[in-house]
A and B are shown apart, each in its own frame.
Chain A
């Protein structure tokens, strides 16, 4: 219904078929030659606020099976890029496509195939977890038993069972984040865009969310933004470093590590994002 054409067809293909592709990516090779079109395509995306350029001609693609880590200092343009990708913010120029649907001209179709966790995981504070997920399920077109099944699955994946009937405003930061995550996973979308999914979680919860992302990775194209560099090594198949609105690096974590003699992502990150410091 929402999908049409070759690219869209890729969204509906069973996930297991793509397992080998992911293993290949893990090894650091490029997308296989027979590859279907990438699920996320961003071309020359630019956002200006007055004279300030928040995002400057950013282009990248993400294929099924990839987990792209989006790194950068605060104010680098990560959230702005993700907002434009989700169709929330109108780009000054450039295009973004999800499963072949342009997020501006075909936005409802694009958003059907997208699970999006906005920055800060906003949810309606007065609603209970279950009521909130029921609302999202209804908007996503699920009713009756199917909605119940999907809500139960999302609650199980994000271990929210204990707080199902609590209003969101009474929950701790970590739980709120997981409610946002549950909302994004509810319709099992082929594309996930998660803005700081592990922010505010305790170490155990972080571990669970990472495990969850890894579990889903083979069948989806996932973009996560994060400040935690160890996360990139742990779950991302590729990392983009962005600063002052420009992409400065787009490589596998292993390749990034080689950029600095110490072999640590921390050092690489500092070396790339800080404007020409005196070498230590």
Chain B
């Protein structure tokens, strides 16, 4: 665990040593603001909650999270620093987990900086702050799920653009798996898969959190989802590191 945290701290420092951190956070906050207040009809709804805000979070993450993860491993491989990192006395699992935790902590920072939304809604009305808290927890878990996908795919290539596009595509699949677009198609062709797709959907799992429900099932889902992709990440690193 010590080594994992050292790797994570270095990685997180890396975000703030480059313009990556500022660009990401500014774009994230701007997008969330525009989407919540304009597209989400925050004011016209006349309801004291952050539902419009949370509705858009998975979609903004879908676009921005792969931008964080694309460099995680692809850049290490391009610069050759992976050879340095993985010949230090740490295991590959520690390196994978460390990098993931750094990216996750970074997303948490970005989410925390949306606090003015919470202040605004509390200023205008009397929202259920418990629901807002579970919404944030759900948003963080969605970020973690997308990050684990992006991190694993970043290890599969030296090219950051490919890593980004692949990650967006796969994240999109898991985001829309519960949408009629997919489930209707699947129930007509392979009905058994439709149910599986719905259960695997990140967006579907997130819905519970936005309604203020934290169910053990959803927590287990996110934990095993992230665990699976990070395991895959370790396997990919092991096989592709020296290519």
Contact = CB atoms under 8 A, between A and B. Distances in A.
Interface string B32-46: 000000000000000
A128 to B, nearest CB: 9
Interface residues of B, number: 21
B90 A88 contact: no
A43 to B, nearest CB: 20
A135 B10 contact: yes
Contacts of B7: 139
Contacts of A135: 6, 10
Contacts, number: 67
Contact of B18 (A89, A112, A126): A126
Interface string A44-74: 0000000000000000000000000000000
A126 B87 contact: no
A9 interface: no
A120 B13 CA distance: 24
A56 B158 CA distance: 27
Given A108-B90, A118-B80, A118-B84, A126 B17 contact: yes
A83 B80 CA distance: 12
A83 B83 contact: yes
Interface string B2-24: 01001100100110011000000
A185 interface: no
Contacts of A112: 89
B6 A125 contact: no
A117 B13 CA distance: 24
Interface in A106-153: 108-109, 111-112, 114, 116, 118-120, 122-127, 131, 135-136, 138-141
Contacts of A183: 84
Contacts of A88: 83, 86-87, 241-242
Contact of B88 (A89, A126, A136): A136
Contact of B89 (A90, A111, A123, A127): A111
Contact of B87 (A2, A87, A120, A123): A87
A160 B2 CA distance: 28
Given A88-B241, A135-B10, A122 B84 contact: yes
Nearest to A116: B87
Contacts of B80: 118-120, 122
Interface in B40-67: none
Interface string B83-123: 11011111100000000000000000000000000000000
A86 interface: yes
B122 to A, nearest CB: 39
B87 A124 contact: no
B81 interface: yes
B79 interface: yes
Nearest to A79: B83
Contact of A114 (B13, B79, B87): B87
A118 B83 contact: yes
Interface residues of A, number: 32
B88 A139 contact: yes
Contacts of B88: 111, 136, 139-140
A140 B10 contact: no
A83 B242 contact: yes
Contacts of B81: 122-124
Contact of B10 (A111, A114, A124): A124
Interface centre among A88, A89, A90 (most CB of B within 10 A): A88
B89 A140 contact: yes
Contacts of B3: 139
B193 to A, nearest CB: 37
A90 B6 CA distance: 26
B89 A108 contact: yes
A181 to B, nearest CB: 12
B103 to A, nearest CB: 16
A138 B90 contact: no
A189 B83 CA distance: 18
B63 to A, nearest CB: 24
B14 A126 contact: yes
Nearest to A47: B242
B186 to A, nearest CB: 39
A15 B147 CA distance: 48
A86 B6 CA distance: 21
Interface of A: 2, 83, 86-90, 108-109, 111-112, 114, 116, 118-120, 122-127, 131, 135-136, 138-141, 167, 180, 183
12 contacts: A86-B87, A88-B83, A88-B241, A109-B89, A111-B87, A116-B87, A122-B79, A122-B80, A124-B79, A126-B14, A139-B6, A180-B84
